[in-house]
Homo-oligomer: A and B are copies of this chain.
């Protein structure tokens, strides 16, 4: 059976493939039997399906998971619907192409995690190593799929890892040009600077942010990152200057009070972290805007840049 994207589906087509459960709700049909009403999506669109005769004891499947479905496309009240014949939740080892379902980072999360761990291996400063590992442990599995933002930059599955590892590359380039910087301090700052976002936003495994958390709104990821770091330090018994330096790097990485940092960066590694962060965010935003704009034309106004973006003809 050929493979289609959702936007290619037409009446009477046969379909088999992996889609994402965007929402799923258990309901009762006119005879009182349970069924599940689901909206399934890939990056191109959304289609509804019903699964009849649902086990009254079983809950509806959780949103945010890939599902394998087979069936026929039908039209009902002018809208397409998938009549499902067979389905199961995707299992480990299934050939699910997540990038076809939602925007994903260009590299695999496992590969990016490995890169962070290799970087940690090379640390010479034990305190910084211990604190950074502790922060990664607190973040746990969620780091694998967490996005870096709801909309701004790296709003994609594993976007937080994408942003972090690109920043690691930038930082390593900087360390060659400015060898007087403290290597471990800068790299530790890069790795932990946005981990607080995991408690600031609610995101599912597809990298989709549905809302901000209570703590995210009342404190923000900078301050929650700092209290987490203190918890790690207390647990691990770290009391040296490295702790307050990392606290300051977390607090100051937005650069100015206007952007949420009550203190500006006050030593070189904090300053470097701030610029690396903004540079990677901006390059990501610029790429997204340029990709959507034909060569020789200007984009609409990009909200986070407060300007229109030009796609040079020369580059194409």
Contact = CB atoms under 8 A, between A and B. Distances in A.
A89 interface: no
A279 interface: yes
Nearest to A125: B314
Interface in A192-241: 214-215, 217-220, 222-223, 226-227, 230-231, 234, 240-241
Given A177-B169, A312-B245, A314-B185, A219 B263 contact: yes
Contact of A264 (B242, B275, B307, B314): B307
Given A170-B173, A283-B178, A248 B218 contact: yes
Contact of A262 (B185, B220, B247): B220
Interface residues of A, number: 67
B314 A240 contact: yes
A35 interface: no
A244 B180 contact: no
A267 B287 CA distance: 9
A275 B278 contact: yes
A17 interface: no
Contacts of A305: 264
Given A169-B177, A185-B315, 9 more contacts: A177-B283, A178-B283, A218-B244, A218-B245, A218-B263, A222-B262, A227-B230, A257-B257, A267-B309
The 10 A-B pairs of least Cβ separation, nearest first, read A173-B173, A268-B286, A218-B248, A275-B279, A257-B257, A260-B262, A267-B310, A227-B230, A266-B310, A182-B315
